[in-house]
Amino acid sequence: MNIKILEKKKNPLLHRDELKILIEHPNLPTPKRDEIMESLKIDSIPELILIKKINTKSGIEESKADIEIYEDKKFLPKLKQKKQKKKE
């Protein structure tokens, strides 16, 4: 599984970095969130990283994902924390 960063944007108002990534996964199904977290090479605490969505078009062996990396735990939205726990 190869990961390429397509776009990186700093959002100072919400105290986070926003990433759009491309995940190449030949002959494999869409990767799970925990597999993506393990493959990301980001210097941040895993609890501060939220994977918003993963999109895969049928028949294509690549996915796009939106990721938010927060500066501190106090800036994490409460609703997203609960949603992330359910998806894992």
CATH, residue 54: 3.30.70.330
Q: Specify the pTM.
A: 0.78
pLDDT in tens, 42-85: 778 888 888 999 999 888 899 999 999 998 888 887 655 555 55
pLDDT of residue 66: 96
Q: Is the separation of the CB atoms in 37 and 51 below 8 Å?
A: yes
- Cα–Cα distance, 42 to 13 (Å, whole number): 21
Residue 14, classed as helix, strand or coil, is coil
- Overall domain count for the chain: 1
At 86, is the pLDDT very low, low, confident or very high (cuts 50, 70, 90)? low
DSSP letter for 62, please: E
> Is 44 within the bounds of a domain?
yes
pLDDT of residue 67: 94
Give the residue from 61, 64, 56, 84 showing the smallest Cα distance to 5: 64
pLDDT of residue 39: 87
- Cα–Cα distance, 75 to 40 (Å, whole number): 21
Residue 35 clears pLDDT 70, i.e. is over it: yes
> Is 81 within the bounds of a domain?
no
Residue 65 C-beta-side C-alpha neighbours within 13 Å:
28
